Structure 1
Amino acid sequence: MASHEHDRAAEQGERSARKLGLVAAINLVGFIIELAGGLMFGSVALVGDALHMLFDALAYVIAYGATVIARRSNPGGRWSYGLHRIEPFAAFLNGVLLVPMVGYLVWESYQRYLSPVDIDAGMTLVLATGGLVINLASVYVLQGGEMSLNERGAFYHLLGDAGASIAVIVSMLVVMYTDFLIADPLTAVLIAMLIIWSAIILLRESGAIFFQGSPVDVDEVRASIEDLDGVETIEDLHIWALSSQISVASIYVEDATSSLEERDSLVADIHDLLTSEFDITHATVEVVAESHEHTLT
């Protein structure tokens, strides 16, 4: 069973790495195009969208590196579970990296509010539309199937990017038809708010793993195990996650079995339940009879 779960995790890691690498390349190209356009045509909103793409691309590069390292690290020795903890660490780092970008956008938007500048709304509109196409292409690459924590982080980033591109498009239409130049810095502030929201989601999910929050409902797991034939009580139950794809449990059960074969069967049933119903791939189950003879597996 352990070998099968490691193979599945390796396959998911390889798929995740390919997706994140491709999305990073797409967004780096989009960043260069939008940054050049924003500087040439005077739009701070487009510059903001470009920076959003840059930091997202850097986030994907970090996530890609973390996924590759975790995939290539073999459990054993000092790292008994491999290096899968790199995944939530990279996701947390990505969330932190979003903060300086927000500060820059808010500051630049304030300067543009004080001193509005002329904007080539037509060309900015074209580039913003291209940015939206890039975001949608990246979403298409990531969507489908079960996503890892870093893939979900990238997905949230891309949704924010798509929203930011739409906001830039709308603001440029406003500038074109009303000459309301302040729409540009106001849009940049809106993009900054989207970035903050992305950071909160990413920090919350990665933080839950770092602080050993349970990825499943512990009471539901307890009730399901207690419903198994042969289980008297659960004396101790702990569930936590190493990464978004590897959950771990430690269970201390008092049983009512009458033979070693029945006890072994109960342990196997508990493992099967944890894997099939709750996707807990690593579990230590200790079964204790009333005579306090121990079985640990």
Structure 2
Amino acid sequence: MVDFKDAAFGAGHDHIFLGVGHEKNERKTWAVIALCSAMMLVEIVGGSMFGSLALVADGLHMSTHAGAMLIAALAYSYARKHATDSRFVFGTGKLGDLAGFTSAIVLAMIALLIGYEAASRFLSPVPIHFGEAIPIAAVGLFVNLASVWLLNGGDHDHGHDDHAHEEEVQKIFAPSGVFAVSIFEDGVPPVFRITPATQTSRLDATAVSVTTVQPDGTQQVFALADRGDYLESKEDIPEPHSFTAIVRMPDGEFGVEFEEHEHHDDADEAATRDHNIGAAYIHVMADAAVSVLAIIGLVLARAFGWLWMDPLAGIIGALVIANWSYGLMRDTGAILLDMNCDRRMAENVRHAIEDLGDKVVDLHVWRVGPGHMSAVVSVATDETQRDSRFYHALLGRFMGLSHVTVEVQPLQTAA
């Protein structure tokens, strides 16, 4: 059994699986804590000086807001300081997910507290001091929006650095049917895919090939493998993706044009998402949503005498927070339990090996940090020259596959 860490993710076997935006997100979180702490002190001191209980109460609420952010900040700091600690078998990349799960529990408790308070006010209405409550809610909303901006960094980053090509599709109208030809890249090296547009259209992978012709005349031939619903090239497509592709089929040759296009951030990719900064972001968004609902409820209650609007807004806010909490708890819990959050990666690893005629006996793929996947694979082969180093080199082309363990055994033994 041999471990291997691809050089693309740093030299040596260091098990550092922190997200690329780790230090930047850590600074953002501490900035939000500083803002909330300053606002907390102003409200508590100002409320005490001017005798405003509502102002003091909002200051104490702001302290819980800063406390929740502290969970994220300490997780970032601890993960960074102990990234090389050998006691953590697969590094500290999952610490952010643990912090996110903890924040989800805190959010759930806040939702329950808001819901309980709102239900109590439905049953026993209390007088509302609109002159103080509305400005305080407005100030709270301003602080929350400022926190959202700080966590966002003004660039909608959220700690993602992975890029993927949009799937560009060209169609071939052949006597045997209509086929879609595309360049597919989603966390894996780009490959050609040929998909029948109708159920009756079928292709034999051995009778089809794709030849690319670059503007300088350079040509490359791509063999195809049958993936069931589509054919996929066995070789990766090198950059740039600007060429004429000649698709050779039993009933003729067909040319399609591909042009290089822009990359985009895939903010929903579970394998690369930083749940720690995501949890902090959800917390301030939840607080902002509650502030908006509170302002609406207070304004309507003051204008029309609908005192029930204030607790109703609280219940709606509690339901919104509970829903966000559940989603965060589900996503982070799955990672902490080592569920495979990127099945496409596992599928591509299996295909890369079995396309060579070998057999994957056992395969496990899981996330060890934002943008870092680990794989344990047992391969059976009758090629005596193929050792673990061969498969490490083969799998090293997959983006995000940072840690690979390979076991090689004779094919007869596996059978």
Q: Percent identity?
A: 24
| Structure 1 residues 61 and 100, CA gap change in structure 2 (3 angstroms) | same
The residue aligned with 1:270 is 395
The residue aligned with 1:104 is 113
Deviation, structure 1 residue 92: 2.0
Q: Helix, strand or coil for the counterpart of 1:240?
A: strand
Please tell me whether residue 187 in structure 1 is matched to residue 196 in structure 2. Answer: no
CA displacement, residues 207-248 of structure 1 (integer Å, 9 cap, x when unaligned): 112211112015x52245424553522111101223444422
The equivalent position to 2:98 in structure 1, one of 89, 100, 108, is 89
1-side partners of 2:20 and 2:410: how far apart?
39
The equivalent position to 2:359 in structure 1, one of 201, 219, 233, is 233
CA displacement, residues 158-215 of structure 1 (integer Å, 9 cap, x when unaligned): 2222211111121122022101112112222222222222321221122112211112
Q: Helix, strand or coil for the counterpart of 1:242?
A: strand
TM-score of the aligned structures, taking structure 2 as reference length = 0.59
2-side partners of 1:188 and 1:31: how far apart?
22
- Which stretches in structure 1 are left out of the alignment for 5+ residues? none
Bigger helix share: 1
2-side partners of 1:3 and 1:116: how far apart?
61
Deviation, structure 1 residue 148: 1.3
| Structure 1 residues 99 and 150, CA gap change in structure 2 (3 angstroms) | same
TM-score of the aligned structures, taking structure 1 as reference length = 0.79
- Which stretches in structure 2 are left out of the alignment for 5+ residues? 1-6, 161-272
CA contact (8 A) 2:375 2:403 kept: yes
CA contact (8 A) 2:29 2:69 kept: yes
Please tell me whether residue 221 in structure 1 is matched to residue 346 in structure 2. Answer: yes
Q: Which structure 2 residues correspond to residues 143-158 of structure 1 after superposition, within 5 A? A: 143=152, 144-145=156-157, 146=160, 148-158=274-284
Q: Helix, strand or coil for the counterpart of 1:117?
A: coil
Q: Which structure 2 residues correspond to residues 28-47 of structure 1 after superposition, within 5 A? A: 28-30=37-39, 40=52
CA displacement, residues 112-168 of structure 1 (integer Å, 9 cap, x when unaligned): 223323323244322222222222222222223315111111122222222111111
CA contact (8 A) 1:16 1:148 kept: no
Q: Considering only aligned residues, what root-mean-square deviation do their CA atoms show, in Å?
A: 3.4
Larger radius of gyration: 2
CA contact (8 A) 2:378 2:406 kept: yes
Q: Which structure exhibits the higher relative contact order, with contacts defined as CA atoms closer than 8 Å and separated by 6 or more residues? A: 2
The equivalent position to 1:286 in structure 2, one of 407, 410, 414, is 407
The equivalent position to 2:70 in structure 1, one of 50, 61, 64, is 61
Please tell me whether residue 24 in structure 1 is matched to residue 33 in structure 2. Answer: yes
CA contact (8 A) 1:23 1:141 kept: yes
Bigger strand share: 2
CA contact (8 A) 2:377 2:405 kept: yes
The residue aligned with 1:160 is 286
2-side partners of 1:216 and 1:34: how far apart?
46
CA displacement, residues 79-138 of structure 1 (integer Å, 9 cap, x when unaligned): 233333432222222222234433432333233223323323244322222222222222
CA contact (8 A) 1:254 1:287 kept: yes
CA contact (8 A) 1:112 1:185 kept: yes
Residue type of the partner of 1:86?
L
1-side partners of 2:112 and 2:277: how far apart?
25
Please tell me whether residue 117 in structure 1 is matched to residue 126 in structure 2. Answer: yes
